[in-house]
Structure formats: structure tokens, C-alpha cells
Amino acid sequence: MNERKTYYSFHDIPFASKSSFNSSIQQSGIKFSKQEIVHILIAITVLTIAFSFAFAPYPPFSHFDAVITYIPISFIAIVTAFFCHEMAHKYVGQKFGYWSEFRMYTQGLLIALFLGIFVGIVFAAPGAVQIFGRPKKDEMGKISTAGPSTNLLLGLIFFVIWTLSDGMISSMSFYVSYINIFLALFNLLPFGPLDGLKIFIWRKEVWGLLIGLDLIILLMLLGLFP
């Protein structure tokens, strides 16, 4: 019997319930299980709360009105940066015929919530799309590229909106662009279980192009690039 190979799209973190997948069934097109939908909704809710507290002035409980104000900004940022990233991995994985589903990481979500509320920073390991099968080198590269590329595209779109708008829309666009670009940069690092290492092994020129574009947009967001 072939040994099952697991691909973690976001973080190489322990999941306790691998048996909940039926790895012998292949999928085509993007499909969701009920359990996956529940996990996605929980992860988005927890991360939205965590980022809303982290964005607010410290201590956040003394500025609860700011926390409420940041909820829609955090929600849009999480949906674009986290959800779209993971769904890009899922979509490409399923297009190749692999069983692909998101599973939340409860401990990581609790840590993110605690840090966001009480420390004012968010280190998020919310979960990942798990892809069961034996991806070829080019399939692995394309699956890995999908997530950071999606963040890069969304970061660029919201960067343009930021430069052309003002007020609340401008502030929201800046945060959403920054989070997407930063997440793309982090995932493009060619180390450990991150997407960057898989892309670098697959095609170094693709990795170089993605990280180069990402750095340019990040420097422009920070006002360090003309």
C-alpha cells in the first residue's frame, strides 16, 4: 500500500484528526464538507476578534469603541489574507484531483486570541488546508504558489485603492494591503514548511519574481520606495 503523504499549505502544525479525511477519494472542482465550513467560520471569527483587539490602542478594554471600529477592517483583512490564501491552495489542489480540506488548529487559534487581546500582537497559526496524495514536483510548486500569489494580487489591488482614496476607505485599504503583502512575504521565505521553500525548489525564477514584487509593494506601503 502506498504511504500517504500530507501537504500542509500554511503551517506545519500538528492536527489530531487526520482520520476525518477519506484520502482514497479524489475531488475535482472546489468542494466543501460541513466540518470544513464550520472550521473556516470559527477560524475567521477568532482571527477577526484577535486582530480587532490588536489594532486598537493599548489597553484595548479602555478603547473598546476602537475595537468595534476595527471589526469590519479586521474581517476584510482576514477574509482576503487568510481565507483567500487557503482557498487558493485548496482550489489548485482539488484541480489536480487531491482531497483538499481546511482544518483549524484549536491551540493556534487560542494563542492568537490571547495575544491579540492581552498583548496587542497576533501570531496566528489558525490551521491549514491539508492535501492528501502524492503531488508531483510541479504540482507541489503550483499548489504552493497559489497562496502567496493570491495575497500578492489582493495586496496590490488594495494598495491601488489606498492611493486613490481617503478617509475610512483609505485606512481600511492600507491595513488590508499591508496584511496581505506581509503574509505573502512571510510565506515566501524559503525555509521549513513554508510555501517559499516548495516554490524555490520547484522554480527559483518564480520565487524570485514573487518575492521581488512583494518587497517593492511593501516598501511602497512603508513610504520607503519612490
SS3 130: strand
CA gap 18, 13 in Å, rounded:
12
Work out the burial of residue 62: count CB atoms within 10 Å of its CB; fewer than 13 is exposed, 13-18 middle, 19 or more buried.
Answer: exposed
Q: Are 144 and 199 in contact (CB under 8 A)?
A: yes
Cα separation, 150 vs 161, in Å, equals 17
Contact 46, 108 (CB under 8 A): no
* Cell matching residue 66: 476602537
Residue 5 CA to chain centroid, in angstroms?
Answer: 22
Known active-site residue 205: no
86, 101, 139, 205: which is the annotated catalytic residue?
86
Q: Which positions are annotated as active-site residues?
A: 86
